[in-house]
Structure 1
Amino acid sequence: MNKANFVPWKLILFCFLITGLIFNSMTFAGGQAPLSSKSSIKMALKKDPIMKNAAQMLTQGRDIFRFDTFGDEQFWEDALHLHQAIEGQQFGGVGSGLSPAQALELGLKVDVDALPQDIVQALEAGQVDLNDVAVTLALLKLDAVVGVKGTFNGNSLQSVGITCALCHSTVDDSLTHGVGHRLDGWANRDLNVGAIIAFAPTVQPLTDLLKIVNPDITDENVRTVLNSWGPGKFDAELVLDGKASNPQQVTNGVVTATNVPGATLLPNAYGLAGFNQHTWTGDWGSIPYWNAFVAILEMHGVGNFFDPRLDNAAKFPIAAAKKFGHITVDPDEDLVTAKLPPLHLYQLSLPAPQPRAGIDFDEAAAKRGDELFSGKANCTQCHAEPLWTDPGWNLHTPAEMKIDAFQANRAPGDTYKTMNLAGLFVREEGLFMKDENAGRFYHDGRFKTLLDVVDSYNARFDLKLTDSEEKDLVEYLKSL
């Protein structure tokens, strides 16, 4: 793919768009005429308080998304001692340490723009020892490991924390697989979150939580659960309800798998502007709600969080017992709340990647598929253009979807979200991910390809699509 097609939009493009909207609205209101020159845009950014605020918030939101741990070192360092496993006994930690080769195998990514030119040249020449833990530490010192922040005392790794970018950014592999320019908002389909947590010297804090629902659970059991998730998946509800697996995966009344790990695919963070609910399952809340939820309950940052729905002991036994819906800290110590507005704005600015006709999809077939999408296949009943989800309340019951209710019932609303479709071609083609991690659609990845998805909808809802029509519909989906 052309790398330029996948570099996130520069802030100035966003500001240019907002400038046009603002000045056009001024025209309709009897104000000044629209300004279009670069000097006018710069003047607007400098003098207009709305533009200035938007630009400042956007820049701040990007930094928060990429680099802010919200103080979650208290968990990854103090509780799990993950930093000790990373540096290894050789550098004052425990075990053999984490080499770059191991890190890449776990799906961690490296930002090439954070690397000095001599290191880039050495990597290109194959002169960097990817089995040397010292190289991992050097990359952490450079802030080059996407989504991971290390704090050093000299050459000793003192602490480690994670950021939003760990799960919701990847790289374009411009240098080599796993090393390239950042792609903010792209779910990291290679990232094995469970295996990374299991790599820590202790998982006792997680074991203690899960003992609330299973008194006999051991650290070994917990590591088995974590390692069952696999690449590109995470189980956000495990520490709320303790449910490690779906007993029966059902589609259209047919059991397709049993004892499926409870983790769901990491969602993309791009193309969400205009959305109501945005997580796989419904009625959790808006994007700022989920940011607070994840920052405090999943990343274990320091902040205030309120949701009395988590007091429901029948649905959320662990959360209710630990009062996860009532977390309070002194406002002066809150490292999350003030960051929610700029983080939200940055996430809403992340555009979905654009496919290229003749390369990413067959244009003629896509045109035929477009007719099917809004006609015979009736996809627009839920996936309304151009949001590709339901405008307003974008949730549906498992019965409506004709699938099992396991994951839906782990959420407050017992529903599934209508997924946004923009950028589906990335997963279908397996761009910037290992071949084995390509595809995987629906919340739990039960469908390997888009054709599998369409074929399932054809059967579930008796659409009577022919084989060729199914293929045309897939090409249209890839064109979005």
Structure 2
Amino acid sequence: MASDGPANQGPESPRVDGDASTGRDVFRNETFGNEGFWTDAVRLPAGMVAAGVTPMQVLALGVQIDLDAIDAATQTMLMEQLRADPSGRTSALLNDPKTTVALVNANAVIGMPIKDSNRDGRMDAGKGDKVGASCALCHTVTDGAAFTHPAGGSIGRRRDGLANHKLDMGAIFAVAANSRALYPVLQLSLTANKGKTLGRAPTGLTETSTEADVDAYLSNKQFYPVGSFDDTFDGNGDTMHNTPLFRQDLAAPYGSEGMIVKLDNFSNLVYTSLFDQTMLTTKGGRALLHTLGGAAGDEIADDYVKILKATNVKGYPYVKASKHPKPGSEDAFLGVRVDNTKLLDLNAYLVSLAAPQGAQVDAGKAARGRETFSSAGCTGCHNVDQSRRVPSFVLPMARIFPGDAPVTLAPRMPPLNPVLNTADSTFDDKMAVVNASVRGEVRGNAMPLLLDLERKPVFLHDDSVNSLDDLLDSKRGATAPHPFYLAGRQRSDVIEFLKGLDTDGR
């Protein structure tokens, strides 16, 4: 009998939502002070100016530009230049580094909000104002109304919540004048691990690695694929492909490893660690690193302090957050929490963002694909109806990756499982240190949204599969990650069904 989804959908996590209209500003512009990290520690704006980065070069890295934030006169001039040359190659504006600075000052570079740090009422990064990072950097694209670069960057009106699959985060970081300040989220070689390294690169970085060494790692697409971001401060090179942030009421638990149950707690961890990694040198940050990695976690914190001193980084940490009564809990992994009202407002906005319409597909093929999706066992993990929340269980690694044969790299105190790794696979690297055992769950994968799949260029969180056709092809083998296969017309039909999925019941 065909099934519409797993019989046990898992527990639904309660969520409190604030004001969605205020949440939009949080999503687009809120930094909670992290502009200090990106401007004074990583020195991304300084690196861009020193390199003479043009808007065309920014767009080539997948960065999105908000047309509505550009003043009317500049818009008119830009459109005239693009009408004369739609490729943008001869556009004076798009090939002038001064335009990049002007776009930053206009808050037109999406996800890089500028703040009036010197409080003179004007936005000017050249006169002391600082540039931070917001959720929109990875989770907004534009409609390309004015221009779309072949590499994926575009100029147009914001489409919040969509994953930016073309964002070259590694190359963006490499432009910074002090990429060494990103040490906790690089692939490292630690003394506590006897110099061994885990990740895509054959060797790891150390506290003595030069800026050139770090930039070479970040710029290497084999080590840091386009469309991905290393979001775990564990010293592993475990970049994860960018995910959407629309309809987050359907998406719990959060993180591909399912470590966090509540949406606002997920956002708080992002703001208090990833958007300002110097927070990891605080008492709460060190406690979390020690819990996750023991001596290796302690070493990361100690080495990071040395790097910050060597590169003359001062005044950290930068993010403004309050002490929390339950340090180390999911509510405050680092013992602090940013403005809770704004976190709840962000909840409301992320819930309100509609999922895109499914692709236009052959109705007959999609209908057959729907039947196959149910009868072939796909509904053991996934729902047919994408207007339902995804099943909230974490799928054990042995189920999602039969070839998982991990060795123990380090013991850990329960409920955390030991640090485990399967050699010659990038799929389990993300779950080696940071995984759902933090909350007593299994090491494995949380269920993804099966939405906006037509735009998705790669599959599985580690970018290891290049298409839906490859994902469902038995040539990948019985022990590969996600080894659930279909042949011939059945595979073609299911792909048609998946590409047409949306939350309107199609």
1:397-408 aligned within 5 A: 397-402=396-401, 404=404, 405-408=428-431
1:341 aligns with 2:344: yes
SS in 1 for 2:129: strand
SS in 2 for 1:148: coil
SS in 2 for 1:425: coil
Look up the match of 1:65: 27
* 1:179 counterpart letter in structure 2: I
Q: Separation in 1 of the partners of 2:284 and 2:184?
A: 23
Give me the TM-score of the superposition, normalised by structure 2: 0.68
- Tell me if structure 2 keeps the 8 A contact 1:271–1:352: yes
- Tell me if structure 2 keeps the 8 A contact 1:150–1:159: yes
1:300-449 aligned within 5 A: 300=276, 310-314=289-293, 317-318=296-297, 322=301, 330=322, 335-356=338-359, 360-375=360-375, 377-387=376-386, 392-402=391-401, 404=404, 405-413=428-436, 414-427=443-456, 439-449=457-467
Deviation at 1:412, TM superposition (A): 2.7
Q: Separation in 2 of the partners of 1:71 and 1:273?
A: 27
Q: Separation in 2 of the partners of 1:346 and 1:143?
A: 20
- Tell me if structure 2 keeps the 8 A contact 1:390–1:418: no
Q: Which residue among 220, 224, 235 is the counterpart of 1:242?
A: 235
Q: Separation in 2 of the partners of 1:172 and 1:72?
A: 28
Instruction: Flag the structure with higher helix content.
Output: 1
1:282 aligns with 2:281: no
Matched length: 385
Look up the match of 1:465: 486
Look up the match of 1:450: 468
Q: Separation in 2 of the partners of 1:134 and 1:424?
A: 37
* 1:149 counterpart letter in structure 2: P
1:133-148 aligned within 5 A: 133-148=97-112
1:5-84 aligned within 5 A: 57-84=19-46
Deviation at 1:464, TM superposition (A): 7.1
Deviation at 1:441, TM superposition (A): 0.7
Look up the match of 1:188: 164
Q: Which deviates further from its counterpart, 385-394 or 65-74?
A: 385-394
- Tell me if structure 2 keeps the 8 A contact 1:110–1:171: yes
* Unpaired segments ≥5 residues, structure 1: 1-52, 89-94, 245-261, 428-438
* 1:467 counterpart letter in structure 2: G
Q: Separation in 1 of the partners of 2:450 and 2:133?
A: 28
Look up the match of 1:22: none
1:271 aligns with 2:247: yes
1:142-161 aligned within 5 A: 142-151=106-115, 152-153=123-124, 156=127, 158-161=129-132
- Tell me if structure 1 keeps the 8 A contact 2:165–2:242: yes
Q: Separation in 1 of the partners of 2:295 and 2:488?
A: 44
SS in 2 for 1:77: helix
Q: Separation in 2 of the partners of 1:128 and 1:407?
A: 43
- Tell me if structure 2 keeps the 8 A contact 1:382–1:390: no
* 1:85 counterpart letter in structure 2: G
Q: Which residue among 130, 137, 143 is the counterpart of 1:166?
A: 137
SS in 1 for 2:113: strand
The 1:316–1:289 alpha-carbon spacing in structure 2 relative to 1, beyond 3 Å, is farther
The 1:221–1:284 alpha-carbon spacing in structure 2 relative to 1, beyond 3 Å, is farther
1:180-259 aligned within 5 A: 180-207=156-183, 210=188, 214=206, 217-228=209-220, 229-237=224-232, 240-244=233-237
- Tell me if structure 2 keeps the 8 A contact 1:388–1:421: no
- Tell me if structure 1 keeps the 8 A contact 2:322–2:338: no
Larger RCO, structures 1/2 (Cα 8 Å, 6+ apart): 2
* 1:106 counterpart letter in structure 2: L
Q: Separation in 1 of the partners of 2:474 and 2:256?
A: 19
The 1:222–1:336 alpha-carbon spacing in structure 2 relative to 1, beyond 3 Å, is farther
* Unpaired segments ≥5 residues, structure 2: 1-15, 82-90, 116-122, 149-153, 192-205, 305-316, 325-335, 405-427, 437-442, 502-506
- Tell me if structure 2 keeps the 8 A contact 1:309–1:412: no
Q: Separation in 1 of the partners of 2:484 and 2:273?
A: 42
Q: Separation in 2 of the partners of 1:172 and 1:133?
A: 24
Deviations 1:160-207 (A, max 9, x none): 111110011111111110111111011111211121111111223234
Deviation at 1:118, TM superposition (A): 2.8
* 1:144 counterpart letter in structure 2: A
- Tell me if structure 1 keeps the 8 A contact 2:113–2:133: yes
Deviation at 1:241, TM superposition (A): 1.8
* 1:105 counterpart letter in structure 2: A
* 2:231 counterpart letter in structure 1: A
The 1:459–1:364 alpha-carbon spacing in structure 2 relative to 1, beyond 3 Å, is farther
Counting aligned pairs with the same residue, the percent is 27
The 1:337–1:222 alpha-carbon spacing in structure 2 relative to 1, beyond 3 Å, is farther
Give me the TM-score of the superposition, normalised by structure 1: 0.72
When the two chains are superposed, the root-mean-square deviation of aligned CA atoms in Å is 3.4
Q: Which deviates further from its counterpart, 293-302 or 59-68?
A: 293-302
- Tell me if structure 2 keeps the 8 A contact 1:85–1:199: yes
SS in 1 for 2:249: coil
The 1:96–1:463 alpha-carbon spacing in structure 2 relative to 1, beyond 3 Å, is closer
- Tell me if structure 2 keeps the 8 A contact 1:58–1:342: yes
- Tell me if structure 1 keeps the 8 A contact 2:240–2:461: yes
